[in-house]
Amino acid sequence: MSQIFSRRSGTWVKLTLLGALGFGAGLVAIGRLLTDEPHDQDEAVEQPVPFSHKHHVGDIGLDCRYCHSGVETRAVAELPPVSTCMTCHSQLFTDQAMFAPLVRSWQTGTALHWQRVHALPQFVYFDHSIHIAKGVGCVTCHGRMDQMPLTYRKASLSMAWCLDCHRSPEKNLRPRDQVYSMTWKPEGDDDALGHELLIQYGIDKRRLSDCSVCHR
């Protein structure tokens, strides 16, 4: 009886199966990358100067916009220049060791290299200004910064986490004058307020989960 398949064809079948398994594993890995929580969530990120939001926001009461001046008008909230820090620290605690990198940066004009805490992949588009304009509070994404001696990522910022908000944005809306408040809580029926603000801000939920909203 003649052989229908050659011995070489068996090797090609095995290679094809291995390739398919590898491709499937790759898709799973990409899916986890897009949706899983990052490993550094809830872990403080080491910085050149141990900046405390708890002290500056919680204790002193600085407004977020004092340092993050671009948050209302730009996609990126921006980090403050050293000159902003030295508004106070040219007079306060200047001789303390922890502030040495700050003072050296001010004297030499060399920028401090802060480590990003809330870093998104390059294929994700995020605009701070539109979220602020639509009444999404800083706490929603960043957590209680006023309680963080060192800054860490509170929310996962995963694709699933973002989609959950985009599908039901009314859960996270607040009056615009309370966007920067760390302690604001709705009075009465928060569901009713969320739906009212949804209409007031002209938010169309039907488009918010389109791929093109975040991937451009």
Helix axes 82-89, 100-108, angle to 10 degrees: 120
What integer pLDDT is reported at residue 92 of this predicted model?
87
- Say yes or no: 172 and 86 in one domain: no
| 50 contact partners, CB below 8 Å, separation of at least 6 | 98, 150
Q: What is the pLDDT of residue 10?
A: 59
Query: Residue 131, Cβ neighbours under 10 Å: how many?
Result: 19
CA-closest candidate to residue 179, choices 136, 126, 118, 211:
136
Q: Are residues 62 and 90 in the same domain?
A: no
Any domain includes 3: no
Same domain for 60 and 134, yes or no, is: yes
Looking at the DSSP assignment, which residues form a beta bridge with residue 41?
Answer: 153
Please list the rounded mean pLDDT of every run of 10 residues in the chain (216 residues). Answer: 55 63 53 48 90 96 94 93 92 89 93 90 95 97 96 94 96 96 90 94 94 93
* 13 located within any domain: no
> Would you state the pLDDT for residue 34?
47
Q: How far apart (Å, rounded) are the C-alpha atoms in residues 42 and 31? A: 22
> What is the predicted pLDDT for the residue at 39?
42
Q: What is the reported pLDDT for 197?
A: 97
What is the model's pLDDT at position 188? 81
Predicted local confidence at residue 14, as pLDDT: 59
pLDDT at 216: 86
Domain membership flag for residue 157? yes
32 part of a folded domain: no
In a domain, 41, yes or no: no
Rounded Cα gap, residues 129 and 69, in angstroms: 11
CA distance 60 to 55: 6
Number of domains the chain contains: 2
User: Is residue 160 in a domain?
Assistant: yes
Asked if residue 164 and residue 75 are part of one domain, the reply reads yes
Q: Are residues 125 and 203 in the same domain?
A: yes
Task: Evaluate whether residue 155 is within a structural domain.
Answer: yes
Please provide the distance, in angstroms rounded to a whole number, between the alpha carbons at the two ends of the chain.
60
- Give the model's pLDDT for residue 41: 83
Q: Do 175 and 197 touch, CB atoms closer than 8 A?
A: yes
Q: Domain for residue 64, yes or no?
A: yes
Chain segment 53-62, per-residue pLDDT in tens: 999 999 999 9
Quick one: 151 and 103 in the same domain? no
User: Cα dihedral sign for 5, 6, 10, 11?
Assistant: negative
- Structural domain that includes position 192: 53-79+120-214
User: Apex CA 45: angle with CA 42 and CA 49, to 5°?
Assistant: 140
